[in-house]
Structure formats: C-alpha cells, structure tokens
Structure 1
C-alpha cells in the first residue's frame, strides 16, 4: 500500500515506474501542494526513438495526468557530444542538419502522447542547443567546472566501466555529464523545473545536476529513475533479433509494432499494461490473471492499447485486422510489411533481410537451413532461391508462425 500523499507519486508507484528517488518525502510534499515541472532529455541520434524510450515518454504522460507540467528536452546540443553511458565506443558525429531533421521527426510521437500549450500543466518542448550552444568554453569552465571534481567523475559507471574494459573515452564524451548537469540547472532557473526523471542508468547524471543546482543557486531539485526495463527473458527492452522496435511509422510499420506487443512473454503482460497503457488497474489485474491460451486475449488488448497511443486508433484497428486475417490462414492482410522485387526478382535470403524478417543475410541463411521459411506455404531452404512474382501477383513470405510479409513485383 502506497504511503505517498501526492497523486503524482501514488500514480507512478502503482504503475511501477519508481526505482530510485533522491528525496521521496521532499518531492511528495512539493507535488502535493503545487504544480511541479519535470523533465526528461532525449538525444536525437536517429529519426525515431525506440520503445526503450517509451517508458520515459509515458512517465511524462503520467506527470501530466497527475496535474503537473512535462518538459521535453530535445538534445540538440548533447547529441553533438554523445552520452557514454552503456557504450564501448564513441557515438558517430551527426551534422547539424541531420540532428534538426531527427528532432522534427521525433516530435511527432510526443504530439500524440502529451498535450502541449500555454496552460500551467501543458507540456513544452525545448532544445538544449539553444543554451548549450551559447556557452563560451572559458565561461563554462569558470562557472560550472569548479563544481565538478575529476575524482568523482571517474567513479561514475559510464566512465568507470569504459575504463575497466580498456575502451577509450574521448574528452568530448567525458564532458557529457557536465552538460547534462548544466541542463538541469538552466531549466530550474528559466522554467522552474524541479524534477528530472530518467532510466536507472541516468542516476549519476541526475544527481550531478541536483548538486550543481544546489551549489550554484541553492535550489532544491529532485531526481527519479525507473527500473532497468528488461523482458521476462532478460533481454533489453526495445531490441529484437530483427533490430530496434521504432516508435515512428517511417522506421517500423504499424503491423510490426503491434505484433511486437502481441508476442510479449506471458509474464510481461501485466507489467507492460501498467507501464504502457491507460487502462484502469482493476482491468489490468483481471487481464494479467488470465491463464493458458486466454492470456492471448490480454496480449491483443496490450497490442491494441499501445498501438492506439503511439500510432493512432486507425493503425491499431488495421493491425489487428491484418493479424486476424493472416493467422486465420485465409489470406494476406494488406497491412503486412511488403517489398517489391523488381523485374529481375530477388534471392530469398536477401529478401528476408530487406523486408525486415531477419536482421542479416547470415541470420536469413540460418533460418532457411532450419526449414523455418515458407513462400506461399511451401518450405524454402536454398538461400539462392529466386523470388519473382508474376505481374500483379502477391506472394506471402513467412518466417516461423508469427512473422509474415508480402512480396510483389
């Protein structure tokens, strides 16, 4: 039973978002008496975020649902540096134009999940390049650098693990934690932000920002992290054998997105319903208690609800209809991923990878050898098998029982 007074922490606790809090009592008291602006930062390294970031976006949604103000920080500045957390090598440098294009693309998902505007609890989106890009190097060293010790910075997991593995870390990356700390301080001064949220791997960076705000301005700031999200099998959330599960339609068709949630492990259904949907907790308790084959009904609800939130209701309806048609064996649903071979045709191993059923040609060859590939229901084992549909013909390509695609000329 939650002992929190504020609607915010009760909601986050009941839904399973809380892993660490810097000062639970202090944040609870603040949230019970006033609107708390809280932020999460997202670097723009690709045109879309993947579902590993969805728990953070949903936490901003919960913040707003509890009567507080979400602040979305796009990392136009920090993307130019690269967060070393959990990485063995430096991030690839992107051009300014690429970063701006990525931000514009990523914003479309936030528009679906948050209400933006000028009211006290309306969400706002800001770009940290607007302030980080204006900082002079000497000014940064004098104003901020004196509050960080190299001794402490070397103890942070993002640095320590890289050094222990004898993987080089550039001085550029070493500065990332300083800039993220400065973000928190800047947002506190300019927008009244009092809370930073993030994944558990961001704990050190968040604490840095809290200490910087206290030392420079005497401001009381708070931090909250979510548990590391893994599936019941222990895999990191957001990754599959075929690659990342992207939030944007351009990077991943709605059917594939829906199918990811439809195929989650039975043990993950209740937890994912709490984190990624707005269904009432009583209904979630009923769904996760379903046993045997009935749990599949709960998985369809999960897939529909998450797809509705991220892609829209029409996309969810289409995806479920396609799944029903596909798995009933009565046809090939039009919402399945599709590929055109061209007049020359394509070898089946390349075709599997191009359409996204496998992550590489090597995996495609393994699946073919395992007798897991069907073309129009017929097993294919030869990687060099040429697929060339007739003009106007549509073929169904299947990998196992759950992955399907359409092949046209």
Structure 2
C-alpha cells in the first residue's frame, strides 16, 4: 500500500513537501502527529489525524502519537481567534491520561518494527530551562520568520493580539520535531492543513541547527458541504468518550450525514476499500432513500470507536424510537444513555411523591407535566387512542399511573402519535 496514494484517493491530502513521497517509497519511515490534551477526550475533529496515522502504519511505516503535556500548557494559535485558557497541571495530567487511552484503541503497539509508539513532549521539556531554550533553539529561528506565518499574522491583525506565550508555540512544536528527529529518527511530521506553518518551522530548525533533512505532510481540514464546521451539533462537539457523547448519539451523528458529505466521509473515516466504496456510491445514486453510505459509515466508525456491542445497542435504540422495539429495552441502558437517547426530545420533571400516590393520565400529562397544553386536549387525544405511556396505549383518561410504572425507577416515556416522544423524569 502506497501511503500518499491512499490519502490522495480518499481526498485527504492537502500539502506535501517535495521529496516526501520519494522518502516514503524507499522503505519504512517514522512519522508523527501531535495531539494537545485540551480536554479529557478527543472528538471527531481529531479522527482525520487518527486515520492518517492508521493509514501510515498500514502502509508499513512507524507512527508516533505525540501527546502534548508541554504544548498543552502553552496553547496553539493556529486557527484560533482568541487565546485559550491555560489548564492547571492536575487537569492537564488527567486529560493526558484519557487521551492516551483513546489513542491506544486505534493503533497497533505490538506489530514488530513498525509498532506504534506514544510519546509525551513534557518528558523532554520538563528539565529544559528558559535560558537553555532561547539559547539552543530560539537563536536559530528569526522573529521575521515567525511573524511571516499566517497563524501569527491573523492574530496580530485582529483585535485580541497574541501573547508571547502563544507566539512561542511554533518554536516549542518545532523543537518537538527536532527532538524526535534527533532521538527517534522521526523524519516526517503530519497534521491538519492549519499546522503547515508550525510543521515547517520544525523542518527549518532541523536544517539550521543540525543541517538535517525532515519532511512535512498535511491533510485537508474537514468541513461540511454547506461550509459549516464538521463535528459540531446543536449540543456541541461530538466526542469519542461515551460519557460525553453516548454511542447512540455518536451513531446518529454519522447516520444523519447528508448524501454529499457521506460520499466524502466514507473515504476519510473508514478503512473500506476503494472498490467497496465505489459500489456503495453507485447503489446510493440509484436508491438514495436507502442511505447505504450513511449506514455503512455509521456502522464502521461506531464499531471502531465504541465496539460492536455498543453499535448493536445504537441500532436497538434507533429501532426503539422509530420501530417496534419494546419499552423493556430501556432497562439495558444506564441513566446517561437514556438521557442521550432522548436528546432533543422535550423533557419534563415530576415529583416521586406524585407518582407514589397514583395519578391519572390526564393530570400526569397536562397538570404535573406539560405534554399537553390543557386537560381537555389530553382527554380528547387519549379517548381517540393516540397517546401511550411506556409504549402502551392509554386505555382511558382515568387510567392511573404510579411508581411501579417507572423505567429503571426514574423515567416514563410518553408518546403523542407514533413519533412525538416526551421523557418524564422523576425527581
């Protein structure tokens, strides 16, 4: 497998330094991508870089995943309009450990010569004094060179300016590359297209400091076809941590991809072969309503991130909402998963004491909660057979519900018609 060609046909390649492809074709090459631990989880925006490392390893090369214990303390100005908040050491350490565990799920750390390796730049920066740094690193890169970078220019031209801390980020990242080149024979740094300036600073430092050769490759920044930011939903970022974004929500994010975006994403975010993808594209073009690409995309990536069992649970969750799966399925979910399943669905709270005493359906849906705007409306629709509690049709406006009806001791699910759900949560 040719790494660069693989990125090309998948639509991932953005920039590549001359000589890089020849280098990769000569044999196993060591290369790295950095991940700053700004949160205790990676999100889907990081998946492009994770997939780049996966393809790199599959092509026979040795991938390094660098977690930025040092750079995470500084803040990368690339693509930012304002300076980000600095994290405490305790928070940073927690984030580092969480991100490392996630990265270990994607790469093979026990496959011989090209086994993946995890490194933390805090290991080589923790004893590097400020004076040593400006003498041994800073003297090799001019201020003119640093200010010529787009990431710096945009911030300096903006209203917020840039602190010295963020200004030095490209030197710190550049030294990462130098250190890995010097000690790990790592001759290639990869990243998103917004990282080109920082990466090239590293190649320049290697050249000026030790007359060495190093190379750079960047991938496309992923956007939706309508130009909006990839990986964002109304409720925020889509995380890889199931405690932040449940596997069902994660699955739905990919399943709800537009036809145009699905054609791009299935190449970028899956390991499916070209022939299989092109066959599915033809099938999608012939019958768009079947959403073949979206289903394959959602399945592949949900299994890789969360495992087959969670994928099956996500399927059952969809069938629960849109099919005939019974209410007992909710007993398989924890509280966070139930809340995630009904994200975007109106939620109402009710006191446990109201249910313990017993409450009739009309009062439950139109007094204790606001599923219906009035008792008259509730009564009329119940009499028409169009309302259900826990997927069982309410027989009469006088039907009484108590705590025994609760799912997991916490929830009631109300339905108006087949698709209008309401979650009632007991306090």
Compared with structure 1, are the counterparts of its residues 275 and 295 closer, same or farther at alpha carbon in structure 2 (3 Å cutoff)? farther
Over 3 Å counting, the alpha-carbon distance change for 1:20 and 1:314 in structure 2 is same
**Where do 5+ consecutive residues of structure 2 fail to align?**
340-346, 353-372, 374-386, 390-400
1:8-407 aligned at under 5 Å gives the runs 8-23=3-18, 26-117=19-110, 119-289=112-282, 290-291=284-285, 292-328=287-323, 330-331=325-326, 334=330, 337-339=337-339, 344=351, 391=403, 392-393=406-407, 394-396=411-413, 407=424
| Aligned residue in 1 for 2:344 | none
Contact 1:376–1:397 (8 Å) recurs in 2? yes
Distance in 1, matches of 2:56 and 2:421, equals 38
CA-CA distance at 1:181 after TM superposition: 0.4
TM superposition shift of 1:158: 1.6
Find the structure with the greater CA-based Rg. 2
CA contact (8 A) 1:269 1:288 kept: no
Q: Provide the C-alpha distance between the structure 1 equivalents of 2:104 and 2:153, rounded to a whole number of angstroms.
A: 37
Whole-angstrom CA distance in 2 between matches of 1:117 and 1:308: 21
User: Per-residue displacement from partner, 1:56-95 (whole Å, max 9, x unpaired)?
Assistant: 0010000011011110000000000011112222221211
Does the residue aligned with 1:41 lie in a helix, a strand or coil? strand
Kindly report the root-mean-square deviation, in angstroms, between the aligned alpha carbons of the 2 structures.
2.6
Q: Take 1:301 and 1:406, find their aligned partners in 2: how far apart are those partners? A: 30
Contact 2:69-2:122 within 8 A present in 1 as well: yes
Q: CA deviation at 1:157?
A: 1.7
Q: Distance in 1 between matches of 2:212 and 2:137?
A: 15
* Cα distance, 1:403–1:74 mapped onto 2, change above 3 Å: farther
User: In structure 2, do the counterparts of structure 1 residues 105 and 376 end up closer, same or farther at CA, with 3 Å as the change threshold?
Assistant: farther
Q: 1:354 maps to which residue?
A: none
Distance, in Å, in 2 between the alignment partners of 1:165 and 1:70 is 37
Match of 2:382 in 1: none
Q: Do the aligned residues in 2 keep the contact of 1:238 with 1:244 (CA within 8 Å)?
A: yes
Query: Partners in 2 of 1:155 and 1:376 — Cα distance?
Result: 64
Please say if residues 337 and 405 of structure 1, whose CA atoms lie closer than 8 Å, have aligned partners that are also in contact.
no
SS in structure 2 at match of 1:19: strand
Q: Which runs of 5+ in 1 are unaligned?
A: 1-5, 346-367, 369-374, 378-388
Deviations 1:289-324 (A, max 9, x none): 313444513211110100011111111121122112
**What whole-Å deviation, never above 9, does each CA across 1:81-135 have from its counterpart, x for those lacking one?**
0111122222212111211111111122222211113721110001001112221
In 1, the alpha carbon distance for the partners of 2:338 and 2:291 equals: 26
